[in-house]
Amino acid sequence: MMVIEMDITQLIVEASKFIFPAYCANAIPVIAGGGRPIDFGKKWFDGRPIFGENKTLRGFFAGLIIGTVVGLAETIFFGCHILFGLLLSLGALFGDLTGAFVKRRLGLAPGELLPIIDQVDFIIGTILFSLPLQIVSWELVITTLIITPPIHLLTNFIAYKMGLKSNPW
């Protein structure tokens, strides 16, 4: 039994190291965002915004920079691939944009809750963008998908309490 617990603990640690640049890239736009929308206020064929006013150029590039820097630190300390932080950050940000796109198509306003999608869109993007690095196992994917929703909900609640978000999710 102790060996299994050690394996689970190690898997959680590895999943946390893997996803940390994406967590940072996904969180920073809440703090550093604002300004011009990444879709420049354009509408899709359905007359709705492409991504919405909360997805901004400043937030995207701040997330990309911070997530990449975190990934570079992990590269130094853990020997990750040099593109690790960049690819995972891009994946997180594009995954989040994809989730926003889906929410706009469903007629949901920015910030409106869409369970599961809101918690895992950036993770799916991260996993897809990490595939060229050949570092993802099924165990890592499953563990990341299990640990992320509660962490995501907790950090969003903290951001809400700090006045950085208009809703607790």
Query: Which residues, other chains included, contact 4 with Cβ-Cβ below 8 Å and sequence gap of 6+?
Result: none
Query: Which residues, other chains included, contact 45 with Cβ-Cβ below 8 Å and sequence gap of 6+?
Result: none
Domain that residue 82 falls in? 21-33+45-136
Helix, strand, coil proportions of the chain in percent (round to 5)? 70, 0, 30
Residue 115: count of CB within 10 angstroms of its CB: 8
Distance of CA 28 to the CA centre of its chain: 10
- Tokens, residue 9: 């603990």
Residue 29 is assigned to a structural domain of this protein: yes
Query: Which residues, other chains included, contact 151 with Cβ-Cβ below 8 Å and sequence gap of 6+?
Result: 23
81-113 residue pLDDT tens: 999 999 999 999 999 999 999 999 999 988 888
Distance of CA 101 to the CA centre of its chain: 15
Residue 67 is assigned to a structural domain of this protein: yes
Residue 79: the pLDDT is: 94
- Report the mean per-residue pLDDT for the chain: 93
b/e per residue, 67-104, with b = 16+ CB within 10 A? bbbbbbebbeeeebbebbbbbbbbbbbbbbbbbbbebb
Residue 6 pLDDT > 80 = no
Residue 57 is assigned to a structural domain of this protein: yes
> What 3-state class would DSSP assign to 167?
coil
- Local confidence band at 1 (pLDDT 50, 70, 90 cut-offs): very low
Rounded mean pLDDT, 155-160: 90
Residue 4: the pLDDT is: 55
Residue 164 is assigned to a structural domain of this protein: no
Residue 112 is assigned to a structural domain of this protein: yes
- Tokens, residue 164: 């950085």
Predicted TM-score of the model (pTM): 0.90
Residue 165 is assigned to a structural domain of this protein: no
Rounded mean pLDDT, 110-124: 91
Rounded mean pLDDT, 124-136: 96
Question: CA 101 to CA 121: how far, in whole Å?
Answer: 11
Rounded mean pLDDT, 146-154: 92
Distance of CA 24 to the CA centre of its chain: 7
Residue 140 pLDDT > 60 = yes
Residue 52 is assigned to a structural domain of this protein: yes
Asked if 111 and 140 count as a contact pair (C-beta separation under 8 A), the reply is: no
| Domain total of the chain | 1
Residue 15 is assigned to a structural domain of this protein: no
